[in-house]
Amino acid sequence: MGSSLAGRPGAEEYAPFYQGYIDRVPGDDPVIPLGAQATTAIKFLRNVPEEKREYAYAPGKWTTRQVVSHLIDSELVFSYRALRISRRDPQPLAGFDEKAYVEYAELGDRPYGSLVEELELLRRANVARFSHLSPPSWTRLGEANGHRVSVRALAFIMAGHLEHHLEILRQRYGIS
């Protein structure tokens, strides 16, 4: 497994606004927290009470179900960026408007549980992909959303982003 050789990303490997996400991730191997989240975070999300699934803590804020949809979108975007950069794709990658993605997700009557299941499947697939990266792949740099970013920074960002939203669900949505 190449993941144990990942190490923490240097500040030159990501945009400054990602610092908060990276700081949330312990250790030098991002695959460990990514894998742990595939169990702990998914269990937390599965146990969200029915009455909290359509709850938003303030007008204009996302419901819990929309937060999970956002987590799916982000997981896909970050992993796609990591794939392209690890494969030495030189093309700059566009950013994404997370608010528009949630607005146009067309969740309709989609069951909450199916969203959590999709997030779990995506995370497990990403853990498998990151677990088998070669050591040189981890430090490859590309451009996403107008900023340089490395594969290892993206792995840390993915883990920290999920932790960030779980903390918001606990603190502002009152979910435990």
User: Helix or strand or coil: residue 141?
Assistant: strand
Q: In angstroms, rounded to a whole number, what is the distance separating the alpha carbons of residues 134 and 148?
A: 20
Which token pair is 127?
């853990």
Q: Which fold has domain 3-171?
A: Four Helix Bundle (Hemerythrin (Met), subunit A) (1.20.120)
Task: Give the global pTM.
Answer: 0.95
* pLDDT, tens digit, 9 for 90 and up, residues 85-122: 999 999 999 999 999 999 999 999 999 999 999 999 99
* pLDDT, tens digit, 9 for 90 and up, residues 7-42: 899 999 999 999 999 999 999 999 999 999 999 999
E strand or H helix that includes residue 175: none
Residue 129 has pLDDT above 90, yes or no: yes
Position 2 confidence tier, pLDDT thresholds 50, 70, 90? very low
Q: In angstroms, rounded to a whole number, what is the distance separating the alpha carbons of residues 10 and 89?
A: 21
Contact 78/158 with Cβ under 8 angstroms? yes
* pLDDT, tens digit, 9 for 90 and up, residues 53-72: 999 999 999 999 999 999 99
Residue 47 has pLDDT above 90, yes or no: yes
DSSP state of 148: E
Q: Where are the domains of the chain?
A: 3-171
Q: In angstroms, rounded to a whole number, what is the distance separating the alpha carbons of residues 147 and 151?
A: 13
Q: In angstroms, rounded to a whole number, what is the distance separating the alpha carbons of residues 132 and 39?
A: 20
